[in-house]
Amino acid sequence: MNAHAGEFDHKDTRRFKHTRIGIWDLYEERQTLACKRISSILQTYTPIIYSVPLLVRMLKDVLSIKRCSILLPAYFVVEVLASLIPAVSLWYSGQLLRLVEGVMEARTVDTTVLVHFAAAHVICAVAMRFLKYSRDCMMPRLSLYIKQFYNERMLLSAVRLDLPAFQTLYQLLARIAIILLRLLSCLLVLSTVMWEQQDGLLLVVLSFLQYLLPWDSTGKAVVGSLARYVVWAATTTNENFICMQGLKELITDPSHRREFVAGNFSEHISARFREASQRIGHDAVEFPELNRFRSFKDCLSITFIIREIMHVLPQIVFALRVVKNPMTTPLSLASLILIKQVFDPFSSTDFSTSSMLAGLATQLSITRKVYNMENIRNKVVDGTEPFPENQQSLANGICIEFRNVSFQYPGRDRCALRNVSFKIEAGQLCVVVGVNGSGKSTILNLISRIYDPTEGTILIDDRDIKTLKLADLRAAMSILFQDYSQFPLSMRENIGLGNPALAREDDKVHEAARLGDAEDFIDELPRGFDTYLDCLVYNYHGDLPEGTTTLFGHPVDSSPRNVVGGVHTTGAPGIQISRGQAQRLAILDMDYSNSSRTFMRSLVSETESSAGMLLFDEPSASLDPTAEHGLFERLRKLRGNKTMIFSTHRFGNLTRYANLILYIDETVQEKGTHDELMKKGGEYARIWNLQAKSFIQ
Ligand SMILES: Nc1ncnc2c1ncn2[C@@H]1O[C@H](COP(=O)(O)OP(=O)(O)OP(=O)(O)O)[C@@H](O)[C@H]1O
């Protein structure tokens, strides 16, 4: 079978070579070494060339930041000056060399010239120090402004990407430009100085050659860069290894903790892990580690050997030169030292242009992703018509109709809903029931336009849902999803978000909390409505006085997991409440504060009702019967004439009051009121009786 477009076709043996490394299967594109080398060079430079428009855009964006418009050009001027000073120093070194040559020949020295050169050297050193100081002052501010700018930008486009990428990118760019400038200026001066020396230029060219290609100074990175740029993929089907990874996840993921502890899994899991590990033996490691051993043999590659030869070539040429013409040896030796002086800084890993170019390519691809995010079009296309025409009408509910709606989730072969048709009149209470996976939540997803139907039409107040402005549509409904999340904000803000228009009105927030049965337990929290259950802000600290156990109200934990960026932290998420409280709240907070958020949306402001339709996806899944009864009662009273849709697989209280029950299983199997469906004696009646019976027993 042929691979799909875009798929990595590892079965194509003509293109990919298969190697077995331990438990891993490595597939590498078949290429000759020369091809690999060329493709490696192309892969390094091409993205950078393609990224020129992106860099221009970035530069414009950064220059548009008020405080950067002067600071950035000033920073570059300082950097350029700093990078030119070594060349000026070099020029004076060259002149000193000539002076020495003159002294050797004439046996006299021109003191004015000597003083002039010495003074110039000192001035260069002082200027360098001053420029470095200016650069160190500017850099942190520049980083901060750029970081703030992109922070805001990312937030606006709702993108969460690795923030440090931006700082690294502009620093990397500046560094590469400066190194190139420094290298070129030094090269220019060196060539001028060496012009008149016998074989001087040859020595310069030979020394420079090794820096021209993107090879790393150690030779080891050459191997690394091959692995990085050549098409390859590695996978493992080793069941024991997959099992071991699964067990590790089970142990480390806190969301499994409760079941882990309650199920008394620890002994079984340890035994299972040991057993799997013993079966695999020493190969039970991730691919990069295993591959590292393998890559050592590449250190004997031809590229590596050529690189080493080129490194010693200038010395060989110099030796031949001495043999040929021993009289000029002292000066040639001085030239060689001068050349070495110039190139040595560039050969260190820090200055390696090749590794920096590779780093730049990576940073550019991250940055491109951020800019691309802004261009991503939503699959759900926004409508143009305002909704509702008359805000007051929301108080009387919204009418919803599904006409032959089918829906398939992206990447799924099966329909989640097939040919579904029903109509809920304005102000009606509808309960959607069905077994797990029957499509109940999908109906709510389609009404809130998280997805659009694959086929069929949804009408809202007799208008095609796709024509309505998305923001208006969503403002007109309040949704409580099964997996509603607790935002890392204060309790007040968590509830307030249910209705941003009223979020600042404290009495409304309290009323919503009361209706959600959350007011009492929130009041008991250490900071009441200002309590953060998920505190994502850390306090940082260095050495603390002997015996310090708490800092800013948080326990001090000096274990390595509390070290961020080399600095100790306190105040891990959720630390603002005690573990005991957290445990107690874990059972309550999800349902209570979230239902409070829903109540918040249902609250009516002075002039108008903000939602005309309330959607609930399994709102009572983890509530006990008393709490469930209370919740439904309050919701029923509060809803007034608004349309309300519940999705649930618990038949009970609610279905009896419903104007319309939809029993679905991919499609609508039965619909009607409770009495009608009971009379019909179908699947709804069967399950109702089953649930009622178990309750009575
Ligand atoms: N995001 C998704 N991507 C792919 N498939 C999905 C997605 N969400 C649901 N499905 C699939 O669509 C079908 C219907 O799911 P849906 O969540 O609507 O059922 P449900 O009746 O609400 O189930 P439950 O009672 O378990 O919540 C299921 O087969 C489910 O696996």
List helix spans (H) across 239-265: 239-252, 257-262
**269 φ, ψ (degrees, to nearest 5):** -65, -40
Q: Look at 159 and 375; give whichever has higher pLDDT.
A: 375
Q: 414 alpha carbon to ligand 1 midpoint, in Å?
A: 11
Closest CA to 632 of 479, 539, 515: 515
Specify whether the CB–CB gap between 562 and 515 falls below 8 A: no
442 CB within 6 A, ligand 1: yes
For the segment 107-116, what is each residue's pLDDT rounded down to a tens digit? 777 788 878 8
Judge residue 317's burial from the number of C-beta atoms within 10 Å of its C-beta, 0-12 exposed, 13-18 middle, 19 or more buried.
middle
Can you tell me the distance from the alpha carbon of 632 to that of 638, in angstroms, rounded to the nearest whole number? 10
> Which ligand 1 atom is at minimum distance from the Cα of 411?
4
DSSP labels, 430-487: EEEE-STTSSHHHHHHHHTTSS--SEEEEEETTEEGGGB-HHHHHHTEEEE-TTPPPP
Q: What's the confidence (pLDDT) of residue 295?
A: 59
Contact 413 CB / ligand 1 (< 6 Å):
no
pLDDT at residue 677 greater than cutoff 60? yes
Among 65-74, 404-413, 574-583, 619-628, the least confident range: 574-583
Distance 585 CA to ligand 1 centre (A): 28
> In this structure, are residues 99 and 117 in contact, taking their beta carbons and an 8 Å threshold?
yes
Which residue carries 């339709």 as its tokens? 613
Of 56-65, 419-428, 583-592, the range with the lowest mean pLDDT is 583-592
Atom of ligand 1 nearest to the CA of 417: 14
DSSP 178: H
Taking CA atoms, 479 is separated from 47, 435, 492, in Å, by 45, 21, 19
**Is residue 367 pLDDT above 90, yes or no?**
no
What's the whole-number mean pLDDT along residues 424-442? 90
Q: Is 412 in the pocket of ligand 1 (CB under 6 A)?
A: yes
Check: pTM over 0.95? Answer yes or no. no
Q: Summarize pLDDT for 135-194 with one digit per residue, the tens.
A: 888 877 877 777 777 666 655 543 333 333 444 556 666 666 666 666 677 677 767 766
ipTM over cut 0.95? yes
584 has a pLDDT exceeding 60: no
pLDDT of amino acid 255: 58
Determine if ligand 1 sits within 6 Å of the CB of residue 439. yes
| pLDDT of 431 | 92
pLDDT tens digits along 484-501:
455 666 777 777 766 767
Question: How many C-beta atoms lie closer than 10 Å to residue 360's C-beta?
Answer: 22
User: What does 576-618 look like in DSSP terms, one character per residue?
Assistant: TS-HHHHHHHHHHHHHHHHHHHHHHHHSB-SS-BS-SEEEEES
Tokens of 244: 């071991």
**Which residue's CA is the nearest one to ligand 1's atom 6?**
409
The confidence score (pLDDT) of residue 32 equals 53
- pLDDT band, very low/low/confident/very high, at 467 (cuts 50, 70, 90): very high
- SS3 at position 681: coil
Query: Is any ligand 1 atom within 6 A of the Cβ of residue 438?
Result: yes
Beta bridge partners of 234: 26
Confidence of residue 227 (pLDDT cuts 50, 70, 90): very low
- Mean pLDDT of all residues in the chain? 72
Tens of pLDDT, residue by residue over 377-386, are 567 788 899 9
Residue 458 φ/ψ, nearest 5 degrees:
-115, 130
Distance (Å, whole) CA 276 – CA 270: 10
Among 433, 442, 650, 651, which is best to mutate for testing ligand 1, by the most ligand atoms less than 8 A from CB? 442
Amino acid type, 374:
E
Whole-number pLDDT of residue 606:
39
What's the 443 CA to ligand 1 centre distance in angstroms? 10
What is the phi-psi region of residue 681: left when phi exceeds 0, alpha when psi lies from -120 to 50, beta otherwise? left
User: What percent of the chain stands above pLDDT 70?
Assistant: 56
Q: Are 312 and 211 in contact (CB under 8 A)?
A: no
Number of C-alpha atoms within 13 angstroms, CB side, residue 76? 14
Helices (H) and strands (E) counted in the chain, each on its own, are 24, 18
Among 441, 649, 662, which residue has the most ligand 1 atoms within 8 Å of its CB, making it the best to mutate? 441
Q: Does the pLDDT value for residue 598 go beyond 80?
A: no
The pLDDT of residue 406 is: 96
Better pLDDT: 389 or 542: 389
Parallel, antiparallel, or unpaired for β 660-665 and 429-433?
parallel
Q: How far apart are the first and last CA of the chain?
A: 57
Minimum-distance ligand 1 atom for the alpha carbon of 443: 18
pLDDT tens-digit readout, 602-654: 554 434 456 788 888 776 555 566 666 776 777 777 777 889 898 887 777 67
> Rounded distance, CA 473 to CA 386, Å?
8
Higher pLDDT, 61 or 574: 61
* Of the ranges 114-118, 212-216, 361-365, the best mean pLDDT one: 114-118
User: Is 56 or 375 the better-scoring residue by pLDDT?
Assistant: 56
Of 110, 82, 85, give the one whose Cα is nearest residue 98: 110
3-state secondary structure 152-216: HHHHHCCCCCCCHHHHHHHHHHHHHHHHHHHHHHHHHHHHHHHCCCCCHHHHHHHHHHHHHCCCC
Instruction: Please say if the pLDDT value at position 572 is more than 50.
Output: no
pLDDT band at 412 (very low <50, low <70, confident <90, very high): confident
- CA-CA-CA-CA torsion sign (628, 629, 632, 633): negative
Going by pLDDT thresholds of 50, 70 and 90, the confidence category of residue 443 is very high
Q: Is 650 in the pocket of ligand 1 (CB under 6 A)?
A: no
**pLDDT level of residue 589 (50, 70, 90 thresholds):** very low
The answer to whether 532 and 486 are in contact (CB under 8 A) is: no
Q: How far is the CA of 450 from the centre of ligand 1 (A)?
A: 13
Query: Which residue would you say has higher pLDDT here, 275 or 456?
Result: 456
Q: What token pair was written down for 246?
A: 């699964």
pLDDT given at position 618: 74
Please list the alpha-helical segments (H only) found in 500-556. Answer: 506-515, 519-524
Distance CA 477, CA 89 (A): 72
Which of 185, 170, 88, 188 shows the shortest CA–CA distance to 128? 88
pLDDT value, residue 659:
92
**Does 529 or 638 have the greater pLDDT score?**
529
Could you tell me if the CB of 437 is within 6 A of ligand 1?
A: yes
What pLDDT, on a 0 to 100 scale, did the predictor assign at position 591? 42
Assigned token pair, 410: 């992206």
More confident residue, 573 or 427: 427
Dihedrals phi, psi of 491, to nearest 5 degrees: -55, -45
- 422 compared with 14, residue with greater pLDDT: 422
What is the Cα 677 distance to its own chain's centre? 50
For residue 461, pLDDT over 90 is answered with yes
Range among 1-10, 143-152, 235-244, 688-697 with highest mean pLDDT value:
235-244
Query: Pick the residue with more confidence: 644 or 371?
Result: 644
Between strands 400-407 and 455-460, the pairing is antiparallel
Write down how long the chain is: 697
pLDDT: is 392 or 132 the higher one? 132
pLDDT class of 402 with cuts at 50, 70, 90:
very high
8 A C-beta contact, residue 23 and residue 238: yes
Range picked from 82-91, 103-112, 199-208, 338-347 for highest mean pLDDT: 82-91
Residue 230 CA, distance from chain mean position: 25
Sheet containing 563-564, strands listed edge to edge, beginning at the edge strand earlier in sequence: 539-541, 567-570, 563-564
What would the two tokens of residue 445 be?
């997803």
Q: Looking at residue 574, what is its pLDDT?
A: 43
What does the pLDDT read at residue 223? 36
pLDDT > 50? residue 9: yes
Coil, helix or strand for 644? strand
Q: Centre a 10 Å sphere on the Cβ of residue 228 and count the other Cβ atoms it contains.
A: 15
Contacts of 477 (CB under 8 A, 6+ apart): 398, 447, 448, 611, 612, 613, 614, 615
pLDDT recorded at residue 552: 66
In the reported structure, the alpha carbon of residue 441 is separated from the centroid of ligand 1 by a whole-number distance in angstroms of 7
Please determine, for residue 312, whether its predicted confidence score (pLDDT) is greater than 90. Answer: no
Between CA 338 and CA 394 the distance in angstroms is: 84
- Ligand 1 and 416: CB distance under 6 A: yes
Mean pLDDT of 550-570: 61
SS3 helix, strand, coil % of the chain, rounded to 5? Answer: 60, 15, 25
